[in-house]
């Protein structure tokens, strides 16, 4: 019997759509044909297949609603309300995530301008070395619509999909309907989920693919996997790698468990399953990894970028301190990092500096305040605590969920061993939150069914408090809020784009006006590592932007005499080093410009 067939159909459809989108990008890129016409033809064909598929799918929504109890209906209404509010935010607010201004979105503009996804000279090597899976999906929207108005919908779809996957995994682990709804609620009301669901970050997308691997693998543990199902698992694993390599810390063990289960049904079959996963990863991620390897001599990018994220110490003391810091930051309440003192004390006893660069992101110091709700750092104390408690209880309980709980804890261990603590690390563990939500739900559901009213009502109250935290994130979360100062309805679009750095807006708009007045078409960029490049593409559409700096060994930067003008985002003295003294220009705050004399 197929468990939750409608949800399974949606998961399969999402994987197929993403695979087609990725293969289309890589194939069209070979011919410099990434343009609106070619992509539009692809999606017209896909729309026809979708219409046929939808005619066959007729979920019974009315009986589902009629059979729900009061608490279950409350959970459905809460989740629906939150995601509906997120939909409003996603459609009204322009993309304004900090990282997106620097590297997520500029590379999409370069791809659209060049008609391919080949690497190009830039000082912002994160535009090239960071996995592009989510941006490939955004590229389709960019080419079809000509802008970024629909960009936020990709992460929103991933958030909704993650809630559906959490509920289906719960069903696969033996959870009844209420437990399935609790799993969706635990994941879907986490403040970080609701804030990222309206952004152009990538963490919900990778969580979606990791969750897809998990639910597909659970289907195949007790049978000989048919090849269509094996290909879907391979595709989900490949999409995980292409979106963010940290997702493999969970997807890898899940695939290994599946392959072992297949080996028990035949050694050859197990080997073939493993080869299918490798092939899926190679097909979807191979072209990108090859570009990174040939450019930086390493498939994970330049050394400084790898070292800024990955742990350089793996001794037990350093790993324990890293785990404690990550846990404290994720579970932090509005009272602040109250547990950081104890963690510092433990670190001192172990002889570990809690801000040691070998275990801490460059330039960061521990502790860091992760509340109030901000998409880059917000904690999820209720949801996180429920996941950890549920996973701990079920790990030692005989029965079906024990193996799954073991895989979850293995993924947690792999994460704290390999990834440094960082102030914005809460968003990086969303895939662990999704995998852990079913374990929390199974434990919570047992308490909700407890005959002692004080136990069941207490747990109901805990879920309500978690939902209130989600409500706070949706309503006043930063940098896209529904109510209060700088909300999305009263703040002009351009101001929303610069809400992270409002002082830069006038600098950028003044310099952009100077470029238009000068008639500059090919514009050279001189930037810092964290400079916002994307606003130039928005303020100066239909211009060619090239970098006058390059961190790519075999890709020289454009010469300054090949451009009509230069935009330098740096203190004026730094810009003066690069700009020809004979070129007239000006300065507005952090931006200096110069125009080639005619």
Secondary structure class of 489 (helix, strand, coil): coil
Residue 529 and residue 417 share a domain: no
Residue carrying the six token digits 């996995």: 131
Total Cβ atoms within 10 A of residue 260: 13
Residue range(s) defining the domain that contains residue 586: 502-595
CA angle 370, 102, 295 (to 5 degrees): 115
Rounded to the nearest angstrom, the gap between the alpha carbon of residue 397 and the centroid of all alpha carbons in its chain is: 33
Residue 517 and residue 408 share a domain: no
Nearest residue to 156 (alpha-carbon basis) of 96, 214, 99, 85? 85
Residue 127 to residue 175: CA distance in whole angstroms: 42
Domain count, the chain: 2
User: pTM value?
Assistant: 0.96
Residue 545 and residue 443 share a domain: no
Domain boundary among 390, 420, 450: 450
Q: Is residue 540 part of a domain?
A: yes
Q: What pLDDT, on a 0 to 100 scale, did the predictor assign at position 588?
A: 96
Residue 307 to residue 289: CA distance in whole angstroms: 18
Residue 307 to residue 312: CA distance in whole angstroms: 7
Q: What is the largest CA-CA distance in the chain?
A: 85
Q: What pLDDT, on a 0 to 100 scale, did the predictor assign at position 370?
A: 95
Radius of gyration of the chain (CA): 25
Residue 349 and residue 424 share a domain: yes
- What are 312's two structure tokens? 């350089």
Residue 101 to residue 148: CA distance in whole angstroms: 12
Bridge-based pairing state of the strands 522-526 and 565-569:
parallel
Q: What are the residues facing 336 on neighbouring strands? A: 333
Residue 508 and residue 398 share a domain: no
Domain boundary among 415, 430, 450: 450
Residue 519 and residue 413 share a domain: no
Residue 71 to residue 171: CA distance in whole angstroms: 18
CB 218, CB 171: distance < 8 Å: no
CB 540, CB 515: distance < 8 Å: yes
Is the preceding peptide bond at 199 cis, omega within 30 degrees of 0?
Answer: no
Residue 303 to residue 243: CA distance in whole angstroms: 20
Q: Is residue 40 part of a domain?
A: no
Q: Is residue 141 part of a domain?
A: no
Residue 470 to residue 477: CA distance in whole angstroms: 9
Which strands make up the sheet holding 565-569, listed edge to edge? Answer: 544-547, 522-526, 565-569, 591-595, 585-588
Residue carrying the six token digits 């896909």: 46
CB 382, CB 432: distance < 8 Å: no
**Chain segment 354-397, per-residue pLDDT in tens:** 999 999 998 899 999 999 999 999 999 999 999 999 999 999 98
**Chain segment 96-106, per-residue pLDDT in tens:** 999 999 999 99
Q: Is residue 143 part of a domain?
A: no
- What are 231's two structure tokens? 């290909």
Q: Is residue 205 part of a domain?
A: no
Low-confidence ranges of the chain (pLDDT < 50): none
Bridge-based pairing state of the strands 544-547 and 522-526:
parallel
Q: What pLDDT, on a 0 to 100 scale, did the predictor assign at position 437?
A: 98
Residue 70 to residue 77: CA distance in whole angstroms: 11
Residue 100 to residue 480: CA distance in whole angstroms: 14
Residue 412 and residue 524 share a domain: no
Q: What pLDDT, on a 0 to 100 scale, did the predictor assign at position 556?
A: 95
Domain boundary among 422, 450, 478: 450
Q: What are the residues facing 594 on neighbouring strands? A: 566, 585
**DSSP letter (8 states) at residue 333:** B
Q: Where are the beta strands (DSSP E) in 277-378?
A: none
CA distance readout (Å), 560 to 62, 313, 332, 348: 65, 43, 49, 52
Residue 515 and residue 443 share a domain: no
Rounded-to-5 percentages of helix, strand, coil across the chain: 65, 5, 30
Residue 444 and residue 342 share a domain: yes
Residue 265 to residue 230: CA distance in whole angstroms: 14
Nearest residue to 110 (alpha-carbon basis) of 101, 119, 123? 119
Q: Is residue 387 part of a domain?
A: yes
Main-chain phi, psi angles of 444, to 5 degrees: -65, -40
Bridge-based pairing state of the strands 591-595 and 565-569:
antiparallel
Q: Is residue 23 part of a domain?
A: no
Query: DSSP states of 218-273 as a string?
Result: HHTTTSPPPHHHHHHHHHHHHHHHHH-GGGHHHHHHHHHHHHHHHHTT-HHHHHHH
CB 334, CB 371: distance < 8 Å: yes
End-to-end CA distance of the chain: 75
Residues 6+ apart with CB under 8 A from 530: 102
Residue 436 and residue 330 share a domain: yes
Count CA within 13 A, CB hemisphere, residue 141. 17
CA distance readout (Å), 161 to 4, 46, 94, 375, 425: 14, 20, 22, 19, 22
Q: Is residue 367 part of a domain?
A: yes
Residue 179 to residue 570: CA distance in whole angstroms: 54
The total number of residues written for the chain in this structure:
598
Q: What pLDDT, on a 0 to 100 scale, did the predictor assign at position 68?
A: 83
CA dihedral over 234, 202, 367, 339, signed as positive or negative: negative
Total Cβ atoms within 10 A of residue 371: 19
CA angle 577, 580, 585 (to 5 degrees): 100
Residue 400 and residue 516 share a domain: no
Residue 148 to residue 283: CA distance in whole angstroms: 28
């Amino acid at each position: 019997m197929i468990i939750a067939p409608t949800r399974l159909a949606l998961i399969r459809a999402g994987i197929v759509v993403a695979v087609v989108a990725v293969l289309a990008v890589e194939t069209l890129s070979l011919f410099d044909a990434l343009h609106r016409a070619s992509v539009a033809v692809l999606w017209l064909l896909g729309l026809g297949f979708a219409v046929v598929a939808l005619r066959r799918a007729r979920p019974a929504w009315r009986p589902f609603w009629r059979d729900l109890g009061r608490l279950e209906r409350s959970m459905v209404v809460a989740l629906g309300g939150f995601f509906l509010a997120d939909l409003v935010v996603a459609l009204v607010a322009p993309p304004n995530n900090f990282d997106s201004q620097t590297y997520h979105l500029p590379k999409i503009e370069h791809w659209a301008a060049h008609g391919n996804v080949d690497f190009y000279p830039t000082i912002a090597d994160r535009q090239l070395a960071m996995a592009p899976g989510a941006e490939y999906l955004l590229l389709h929207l960019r080419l079809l619509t000509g802008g970024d108005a629909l960009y936020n919908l990709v992460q929103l779809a991933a958030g909704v999909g993650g809630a559906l996957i959490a509920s289906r995994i719960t069903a696969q682990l033996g959870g009844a309907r209420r437990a399935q709804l609790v799993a969706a609620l635990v994941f879907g009301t986490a403040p970080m989920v609701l804030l990222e669901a309206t952004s152009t970050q990538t963490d919900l997308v990778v969580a979606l693919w990791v969750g897809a691997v998990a639910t597909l693998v659970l289907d195949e543990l007790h049978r000989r996997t048919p090849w269509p199902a094996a290909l879907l698992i391979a595709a989900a694993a490949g999409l995980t790698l292409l979106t963010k390599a940290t997702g493999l810390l969970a997807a890898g063990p899940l695939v290994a468990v599946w392959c072992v289960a297949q080996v028990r049904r035949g050694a050859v079959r197990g080997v073939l399953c493993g080869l299918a996963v490798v092939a899926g990863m190679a097909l979807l991620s191979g072209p990108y990894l090859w570009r990174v390897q040939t450019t930086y001599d390493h498939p994970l990018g330049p050394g400084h970028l790898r070292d800024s994220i990955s742990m350089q110490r793996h001794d037990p003391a350093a790993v324990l301190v890293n785990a404690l810091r990550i846990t404290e930051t994720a579970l932090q309440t509005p009272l602040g990092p109250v547990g950081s003192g104890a963690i510092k004390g433990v670190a001192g006893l172990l002889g570990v500096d809690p801000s040691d660069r070998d275990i801490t992101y460059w330039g960061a110091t521990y502790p860091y305040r992760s509340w109030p709700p901000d998409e880059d750092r917000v904690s999820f104390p209720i949801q996180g605590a429920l996941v950890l408690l549920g996973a701990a209880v079920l790990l030692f309980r005989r029965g079906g969920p024990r193996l799954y709980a073991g895989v979850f804890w293995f993924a947690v261990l792999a994460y704290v061993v390999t990834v440094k603590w960082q102030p914005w690390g809460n968003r990086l563990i969303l895939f662990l939150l999704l995998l852990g939500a079913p374990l929390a739900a199974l434990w919570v559901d047992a308490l909700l069914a407890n005959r002692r009213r004080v136990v069941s009502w207490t747990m109901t109250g805990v879920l309500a408090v978690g939902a209130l935290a989600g409500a706070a994130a949706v309503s006043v979360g930063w940098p896209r809020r529904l109510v209060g100062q700088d909300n999305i309805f009263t703040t002009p679009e351009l101001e929303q784009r610069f809400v992270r750095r409002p002082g830069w807006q006038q600098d950028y708009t003044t310099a952009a006006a100077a470029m238009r007045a000068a008639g500059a078409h090919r514009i050279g960029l001189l930037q810092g590592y964290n400079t916002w490049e994307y606003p130039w593409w928005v303020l100066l559409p239909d211009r060619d932007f090239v970098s006058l700096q390059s961190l790519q060994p075999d890709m020289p930067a454009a010469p300054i005499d090949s451009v009509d003008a230069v935009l330098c985002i740096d203190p004026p003295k730094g810009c003066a080093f690069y700009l020809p003294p004979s070129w007239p220009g000006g300065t507005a705050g952090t931006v200096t410009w110069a125009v080639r004399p005619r």
